[in-house]
């Protein structure tokens, strides 16, 4: 009888949290705009006014002051119509047809003549955002998906909420947008990117469809300049030729180009380092919106008893939340999106994301981070479901329990076929502990040093589970090793050990060993993957998502998956 009252209480508490947050955002904006009219008046990009009627020299001077990158080098767009290719290349001194080694090139600096050629349509110029001292004059966010308009507007709305001045440019092609944030003085690239991450995280609370790969679309793309490189470049706007087709121009919130592009840019407000530091400092939690570790150990009565996954917390969600979340356990964990608010979908997506150590390692060593994502994210967005890796079930349950949401799961996995088999051997005490620990779960990874005896442990687990099994390896040598160990430690006729790969395709549907490359469009029942380190590779990940039981229920998901690594 008290359920309706409890539900109403939850709604009121959520609304109270939302209003408190909104009040805080409004206070921040109020302080921001008050500061503009008192201590820090609006800062024009140029001391004199600029508009369409200004002279070419005035426009060039103004443009060069606003869109500032490295001054000692710039790039120009090239095209090869025959091959249908295009790109940007830094400009340097050379004679016609001469090939100059990279280390001997004398790059041409930016000057007024180059800017004039860009604006007049003679060249398409690109500038390098990050300076030699790891600072930058602007931050730009690139959105080029089909939904770029909605993504840009969501980003701009978050800029407004956080008190950030931003300008939207439609790209050269007209199929994307750049959001520019200009700085009054050059600031550290790391601080600029923190600002961009904070804005994007805020925007994804209301529009999770933007995707976590958006964190890789900032200019500059990294905190420090890579050794021997210039960092990423961005094409400058207002190039004459695309302007004639409505591209490379600044547009308003209705996606309509400003009638006077120069007058609009003349009124753009540049941000100071102090303002940016203040905004970043007021962001609670991880700037990328991932789970962060508890900062106040006193809130946990026995912090030493926490499991590694339990050391993470998330900010409470605001707004009205559903009473239940429906999930289907199959080859992935499918969560129904119906009735889920965007903020909850956003939080669910981030359960399958973590910081990419390769990105930060490359950045720390001043290597290029090109094509290295800042985040590793494994969630997939379907029309009616969000799909997570199956190992995220416990995190999903924890998230929902925190917000008093029930998780209703439906098991669509395929349980395999019974297998009458016995283990022939004896485990060491450390091996026994590993087996007992992993037998509690349907999926898991055993991480053990070389010579631990992982194949022996696997044979014991196969015998305990008594279910037909597919063992997946990535080298022929491992296939032969597994075949020998299975024959030794299980009472199975060697003829009943199937092989897929290495020139053979003879599964027995009892205990089969396969090389991963040979499993295209084939299934699996209960996978034991040897040397699980490559599991994060695209090849392993794609195969594991589609596996079923070989020859049993093609494309039905396996019920139990176990990996081994060192």
CA dihedral defined by 445, 446, 451, 456, rounded to 10 degrees? -100
Task: Tell me phi and psi for residue 415, to 5 degrees.
Answer: -85, 0
Distance CA 374, CA 177 (A): 21
pLDDT value of position 302? 54
CA dihedral defined by 111, 115, 120, 124, rounded to 10 degrees? 110
| 502: CB partners within 8 A, 6+ apart | 476, 479, 515, 518
pLDDT value of position 258? 96
* Nearest residue to 283 (alpha-carbon basis) of 202, 223, 394, 338: 202
Question: In the Cβ-directed half-sphere of 451, how many Cα atoms lie within 13 Å?
Answer: 0
**CB neighbours of residue 496 within 10 Å:** 16
pLDDT value of position 357? 85
Helix (H) or strand (E) holding 387: strand 385-388
- Beta-strand pair 406-411/324-329: parallel
CA dihedral defined by 130, 191, 169, 157, rounded to 10 degrees? 170
**CB neighbours of residue 464 within 10 Å:** 13
Distance CA 122, CA 110 (A): 15
Distance CA 427, CA 421 (A): 17
Distance CA 201, CA 296 (A): 23
- pTM for the model stands at 0.70
Locate tokens 């994307």: which residue? 176
* Nearest residue to 209 (alpha-carbon basis) of 355, 340, 62: 340
Locate tokens 């508490």: which residue? 13
Nearest-5° angle of CA 422, CA 428, CA 430?
A: 115
- 275 near 28, Cβ under 8 Å? no
Structural domains in the chain, sorted by start? 56-93+101-285 (3.90.920.20), 324-411 (3.30.780.20), 422-550 (3.40.50.300)
pLDDT value of position 558? 57
Distance CA 246, CA 242 (A): 6
Residues in the chain, overall count: 566
pLDDT value of position 371? 79
Q: What is the pLDDT along the chain (566 residues), one digit of tens a residue?
A: 566 666 677 777 777 766 766 666 665 566 555 544 433 433 444 444 899 999 999 999 999 999 999 999 999 999 998 888 999 999 998 877 778 888 888 999 999 999 999 999 999 999 999 999 999 999 999 999 999 999 999 999 999 999 999 999 999 999 999 999 999 999 999 999 999 999 999 999 889 989 888 888 999 998 998 888 899 999 999 999 999 999 999 999 999 999 999 999 999 999 999 999 999 888 766 677 665 444 443 344 554 454 544 445 567 787 788 999 999 998 899 999 988 998 898 899 889 888 888 888 888 887 888 778 888 888 888 889 999 998 899 899 989 998 899 999 999 988 888 999 999 999 999 999 999 999 998 888 888 888 899 899 999 999 999 999 999 888 899 999 999 999 999 999 888 999 998 888 888 889 999 988 887 644 444 445 555 444 434 444 544 454 433 333 333 455 667 766 65
> What sign has the CA pseudo-torsion 77, 368, 134, 167?
positive
pLDDT value of position 228? 80
* Nearest residue to 189 (alpha-carbon basis) of 131, 137, 136: 136
Query: Taking phi first (over 0 means left), then psi (-120 to 50 degrees means alpha), and beta for anything else, what does residue 349 get?
Result: alpha
| 384: CB partners within 8 A, 6+ apart | 336, 337, 338
Q: Which token pair is 506?
A: 């003879």
Within 227-305, strands assigned E span 233-235, 249-251, 292-293
Distance CA 97, CA 340 (A): 61
Distance CA 445, CA 442 (A): 10
| 475: CB partners within 8 A, 6+ apart | 515
Q: Which token pair is 230?
A: 């210039």
- For residue 319, give Cα distances in angstroms to 67, 125, 153, 194: 40, 46, 22, 26
Nearest-5° angle of CA 211, CA 213, CA 214?
A: 75
């Amino acid at each position: 009888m008290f359920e309706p009252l409890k539900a109403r209480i939850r709604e009121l508490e959520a609304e109270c949290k939302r209003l408190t947050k909104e009040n805080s955002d409004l206070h921040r904006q109020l302080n921001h705009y008050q500061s503009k009219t008192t201590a820090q008046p609006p800062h024009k990009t140029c001391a004199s006014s600029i508009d369409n009627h200004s002279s070419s020299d005035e426009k060039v001077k103004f443009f060069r002051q606003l869109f500032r990158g490295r001054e000692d080098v710039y790039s120009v767009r090239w095209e090869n119509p025959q091959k249908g290719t295009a790109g940007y290349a830094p400009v340097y001194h050379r004679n016609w047809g001469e090939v100059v080694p990279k280390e001997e090139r004398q790059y041409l600096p930016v000057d007024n003549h180059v800017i004039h050629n860009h604006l007049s349509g003679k060249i398409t110029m690109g500038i390098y955002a990050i300076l030699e001292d790891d600072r930058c004059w602007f931050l730009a966010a690139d959105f080029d998906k089909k939904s770029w308009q909605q993504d840009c507007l969501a980003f701009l709305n978050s800029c407004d909420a956080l008190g950030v001045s931003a300008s939207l440019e439609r790209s050269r092609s007209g199929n994307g947008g750049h959001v520019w944030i200009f700085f009054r003085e050059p600031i550290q690239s790391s601080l600029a990117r923190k600002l961009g991450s904070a804005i994007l995280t805020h925007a994804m609370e209301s529009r999770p469809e933007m995707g976590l790969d958006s964190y890789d679309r900032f200019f500059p793309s990294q905190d420090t300049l890579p050794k021997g490189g210039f960092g990423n470049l961005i094409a400058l706007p207002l190039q004459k030729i695309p302007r004639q087709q409505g591209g490379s121009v600044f547009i308003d919130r209705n996606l309509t180009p400003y009638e006077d592009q120069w007058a609009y840019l003349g009124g753009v407000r540049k941000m100071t380092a102090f303002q940016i530091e203040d905004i970043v400092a007021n962001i609670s939690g991880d700037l990328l919106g991932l789970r962060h570790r508890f900062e106040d150990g006193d809130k946990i009565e026995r912090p030493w008893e926490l499991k590694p996954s339990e050391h993470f917390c998330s900010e409470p969600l605001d707004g009205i939340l559903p009473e239940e979340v429906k999930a289907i356990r199959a080859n992935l964990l499918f969560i129904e999106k119906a009735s889920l608010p965007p903020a909850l979908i956003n939080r669910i997506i981030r359960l399958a994301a973590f910081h990419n150590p390769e990105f930060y390692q490359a950045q720390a060593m001043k290597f290029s981070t090109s094509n290295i994502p800042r985040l590793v994210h494994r969630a997939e967005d379907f029309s009616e479901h969000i799909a997570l890796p199956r190992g995220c079930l416990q995190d999903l349950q924890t998230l929902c329990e925190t917000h008093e949401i029930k998780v209703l799961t439906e098991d669509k996995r395929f349980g395999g076929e019974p297998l009458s088999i016995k283990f022939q051997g004896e485990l060491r005490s450390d091996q026994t502990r590993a087996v007992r620990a992993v037998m509690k779960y349907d999926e898991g990874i055993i991480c053990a040093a070389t010579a631990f005896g992982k194949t022996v442990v696997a044979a014991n687990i196969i015998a305990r589970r008594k279910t037909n099994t597919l063992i997946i390896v990535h080298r022929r040598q491992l296939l032969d090793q597994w075949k020998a160990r299975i024959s030794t430690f299980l009472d199975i006729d060697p003829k009943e050990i199937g092989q897929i790969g290495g020139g053979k395709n003879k599964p027995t549907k009892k205990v089969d060993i396969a090389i991963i490359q040979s499993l295209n469009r084939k299934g699996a029942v209960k996978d034991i993957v040897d040397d699980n380190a490559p599991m994060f590779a695209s090849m392993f990940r794609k195969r594991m998502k589609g596996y079923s039981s070989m020859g049993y229920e093609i494309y039905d998901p396996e019920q139990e998956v176990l990996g081994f690594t060192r």
